[in-house]
Amino acid sequence: MSTDTQAKVALSLIRATGRTHLGNYLGAVRSFVTLDAREDVSCIFGVATLHSLTTQGDPEALRRDIRGVVLDFLAAGIDPERSVIFDQTAVPETLQLSWILSCLATAGRLERMHHWKEKKDKLADLGQAANVGLFSYPVLMAADILGPGADIVPVGEDQVQHVEFARELARRFNHQFGEYFKIPEVLEREAIRVPGLSSSGKMGKSEGEKATLYLSDSYDQQWNKVKVAPTDPARVRLKDPGDPQKCNIGGMHRILDQIGLHEAGALQWVNEGCTQATMGCFPCKKKLLDVMEEAFLRDIRERREKFAAKGDGFVDEIIAAGNQKARARIQPIVEGAMQKVGLITRWS
């Protein structure tokens, strides 16, 4: 975090729910790297380990994934000298603030959250009941945001409603107890929704391992997954024309074009080659992976290997240092909020 007091604070957390994949990278981590590089913004990036508990019941997996997320942050190019990287759990004050905010939030408002409604219905379909953590999830997220006094919160479209809720709670607090919290701005990330390789669902969720390109995969592992990915079923033989709109590989080419990773003409080459049957799916897939390999996959893999070779201790030290910085920032802001509502924080 820059010590420049003029710099705006950007904050975002990611849940630790498995290995980081291409969808996480293009959808979120890539925008963190961009913010990390900005001189006018100081960044705080966290692993939302407490939020992970709402859906995670495997302690071993959680421990592994926390370090994995941080390693992937580093591999993606976030510089821990510039940005704070921390574990949500290491700042207990966030939970104190979360409680205060939960006393300002109404149950009716939480019941109307898209995220809650979706999760609850999905669980119901599986014959399971939703836990209270899932219900109050947005309150804890508001505490994450207001605790460090974030100015900017970069999130994907699915989380925008939660950031708006944090803004509401900040206003309500200020109205009831006097001006205190900054009203954070939502920075909606470019809507990039990477499909799984073999379905229309999001990468990572739908078809699991074989349809998901992990940042930690080797090139060969990635190629083996791309190679067998289904394409437009109309393309049985090389001379059968296809429709890139009906193909996830075609969809990924469009994403690369959208975010400026494709050179001029590349998307047209794909579209024409596919619809006019002048190109097979194999070179189309090869092109896709190779563009990503050159643009970021190789760098990420190499950095990841370099950092991983330093052992858990290396990652742990970065988290520990980040935890300290995050807590030093959040603790006084939360203590001030506690005093505002009438709690006594120091008895002597």
Residues with a catalytic annotation lie at: 119, 202, 205
Q: How far is CA 186 from CA 28, 159, 230, 244, 313, in A?
A: 14, 10, 37, 33, 35
Q: Which residue has the tokens 């939030």?
A: 105
Residue 145 binds ligand SF4, judged by CB under 6 A: no
Q: How far is CA 15 from CA 70, 112, 118, 260, 295, in A?
A: 11, 22, 18, 27, 25
> Which residues ranging from 250 to 269 are in contact with ligand SF4 (CB under 6 A)?
250
Residue 15 binds ligand TRP, judged by CB under 6 A: yes
Nearer CB in complex with ligand TRP: 7/187 = 187
Nearer CB in complex with ligand TRP: 72/144 = 144
Which one of ligand TRP, ligand SF4, none interacts with residue 249, CB within 5 to 8 A by kind?
A: ligand SF4
Pairwise CA distance, residues 181 & 178, whole Å: 9
Residue 48 binds ligand TRP, judged by CB under 6 A: yes
Nearer CB in complex with ligand TRP: 134/270 = 134
Which one of ligand TRP, ligand SF4, none interacts with residue 51, CB within 5 to 8 A by kind?
A: ligand TRP
DSSP annotation of 202 reads B
Pairwise CA distance, residues 341 & 291, whole Å: 54
Residue 144 binds ligand TRP, judged by CB under 6 A: yes
Min CB(228)–ligand SF4 separation in Å? 12
Pairwise CA distance, residues 171 & 273, whole Å: 54
Which one of ligand TRP, ligand SF4, none interacts with residue 285, CB within 5 to 8 A by kind?
A: ligand SF4
Min CB(277)–ligand SF4 separation in Å? 9
Report angle CA 94, 159, 91 to the nearest 5 degrees.
15
Q: Which residues form the interface with ligand TRP (CB under 6 A)?
A: 11-13, 15, 48, 51, 141, 144-145, 153, 155, 159
Binding region for ligand SF4 (CB under 6 A): 231-232, 235, 242, 244, 247, 249-250, 270, 274, 279, 281, 284-285
